[in-house]
Amino acid sequence: MKSKTVGIFVLSLSLLVPAIQAAQEKARQPDPEQLRERLEQIKSRLKLTPEQVEQIRPVLRQELQKLKTVRDKYNGRDQNRRTRLQMARELRDIQGAADDQLRKILSKKQMEEMKKIRQEWRQQVRDRLNQQ
């Protein structure tokens, strides 16, 4: 009887694990609407070529995914000064890595405009946080 219970438990667990993993993977994916909006804004303001759009899309998707992972990691934690600084450092590192990739795709003028766009995005986040 005991082995039957263990067998049922193992079977249930083996069915649950893939579902949990799929849910976790979906939670790590960036919001498709946010990705689309950001890509449209970048495309318009930087006057990207179709080739640049296709090169930037995976960079932007990966960056948004990593940013979301870091925000989720710190969500619900004690938001003391040290934690906020640590989170900001991680977010800055992610954006720095994305910028390194973008420099290979964009002209200097486009990269300067991209930095302005990023500043605007950061300000929007600050404004949302201040409204909460």
Q: Which of 5-9, 13-17, 92-96, 114-118 has the lowest mean pLDDT?
A: 13-17
How many helices (DSSP H) and strands (DSSP E) are in the chain?
5, 0
Distances in Å between the Cα of 11 and the Cα atoms of 20, 23, 44, 117, 131 are 15, 19, 52, 50, 47
What does pTM read for this prediction? 0.69
Residue-averaged pLDDT of the chain: 82
pLDDT, position 1: 58
pLDDT tens digit sequence for 108-118: 999 999 999 99
Query: Residue 59 contacts by C-beta under 8 Å, 6 or more apart in sequence?
Result: 98, 101, 102, 105
From CA 48, how far away is CA 107, in angstroms rounded?
10
Residue 19 has pLDDT above 70, yes or no: no
From CA 7, how far away is CA 13, in angstroms rounded?
10
